[in-house]
Amino acid sequence: MNKIHGKISVGQNRRNDPAIFCEHGPSDFNVSDSGPLAGKRLAVKDVFQLKGEKNTAGSPDWFNTHPAANKTAESLSRLLNVGATFIGFTHLDELAYSMQGNNRHYGAAENPRVPGYCCGGSSMGSAAAVASGLADIALGTDTGGSVRVPASYCGLFGIRTSHSLVSVKGVIGLAPCFDTVGWFTQKASLLNGVGEVLLPKQSRSHPKITRLVICDAINQLADKHIQDAMTHYVSQVQNEFDVCETVYLSDVRILSELADVFRILQGRAIANEHGEWIEKVNPVFSADVEARLAMAMSISDDEVLWAVTKRQQWCRQMEILLPDETSVLLMPTSASTALKKSSNLSISEQMNVRQRLLGLTAIGGLWGAPQCHLPLFSVDEIEAESGIHPDDKIVRKPSGFSLLMAPNNDLALLALVEQVASLSNE
């Protein structure tokens, strides 16, 4: 960042939301008063470094054992330099190693769109800040779904960018081979506007996206009512494309393996990234995160070899589905809608939920592809209060779908998202 200190005031708006915003760090931090994002309030997941400040990465032990940053993360610096105002760091799951949206130490942000339900993780505070209207933009990271899942649960536009396309310098990593920078907004136009700042200036004369791809085997990984809503939406949007094509995987069995492929490769990367610190400090984690970390530390070389081979096979499948920049895949973002905050799931139940989510999020993550969530519909679900039918009630919950393109077509994808969203008046 060009300026060490900008204009800072100790704003109180975020201090009243301790489940969303961290106590540490500045509020209303401004570097520039001009630029395309001037006046936009920016919430920042507490893994992006800001010069002179410390981060928790979701863990008080991390905060206590790491110094203040000597440099601002490149992505954050870019947004500040074009007028965005930093309004605070946001909470996340521990080490960003969860999609649940709950933190043993700092709590669970409530879903502003569905009171009593979780935001999803790990970028829970960032999603909650935008969904509640406290921020216009929020930075997150997406390794295994940590932007896409909260975007789906909270009814937001959200993007996971192509791997390595947006710099992760100055961002506390989880698994570098999968870590990406992402962001949330309530408007597709602003999602695109942030992309214009953060993404490399790829060719503006990219070919028109003419082919919409649907894969039933992928769609079936989501709950039935989400599938039905997607089918209805496809009938509305398909006229925007020259071709709407249903495709079939040459090896559909691999879909059932993707979650484990991702789990193994991510786990080995996490062990390499954080194993030494964990062994030295012995930090305190929630039971589910601790169980995943123990799994990550025990992954064998044979498992990694199997996963690498399967990843290569999957990437070849995706290259057949989306062979060039004129094709886009429409698919579910998450397997289900937001879970109740009060759900007391066992470790095995939490693992099953995570396995279903990874089955979808690994589709783009293993390929390193850009994927955007579009919150263009909600679904009605029955919430059983006590197991007695008369006490059941209908809850309307955010949902939507994703558009996914081949790697490094992020700007084209964002332009398409804005176009498709305009059909529904966002």
Strands (E), 308-359: 327-331
For residue 327, what are the β-bridge partners? 211
- Rounded to whole angstroms, the Cα distance separating 386 from 371 reads 38
Q: Where are the beta strands (DSSP E) in 7-95?
A: 7-9, 27-30, 41-45, 85-90
User: Residues 146, 334, 399, 402: which is the catalytic one?
Assistant: 146
Q: Has 45 been annotated as catalytic?
A: yes
What are the strands, taking DSSP E only, across 12-70?
A: 27-30, 41-45
Strand ranges (E), 239-370: 243-247, 327-331
Number of alpha carbons in the 13 Å side-chain half-sphere of residue 165: 24
CA distance linking residue 352 with residue 337, whole number of Å: 15
Instruction: Quote the CA–CA distance of 42 and 130 in Å, as a whole number.
Output: 9
DSSP state of 68: P
Q: How far apart are CA 380 and CA 41, in angstroms?
A: 32
Question: Out of 59, 122, 162, 402, which one is annotated catalytic?
Answer: 122
Please identify which residue in the block is written with the tokens 């396995």. Answer: 355
Which one from 40, 45, 54, 397 is the annotated catalytic residue? 45
Residue type, 125: G
CA angle 412, 418, 424 (to 5 degrees): 145
Using the Cα atoms of residue 115, residue 179, residue 87 and residue 24 in order, give the sign of their dihedral.
positive
Q: For residue 223, give every residue at least 6 positions away whose Cβ sits within 8 Å of its Cβ, in sequence order, or none.
A: 335, 336, 337
Instruction: Report whether 103 contacts 19 (CB < 8 A).
Output: no
Cβ 91 vs Cβ 118: under 8 Å:
no
Q: What is the DSSP letter of 339?
A: P
DSSP 156: -
The residues assigned a catalytic role are: 45, 122, 146
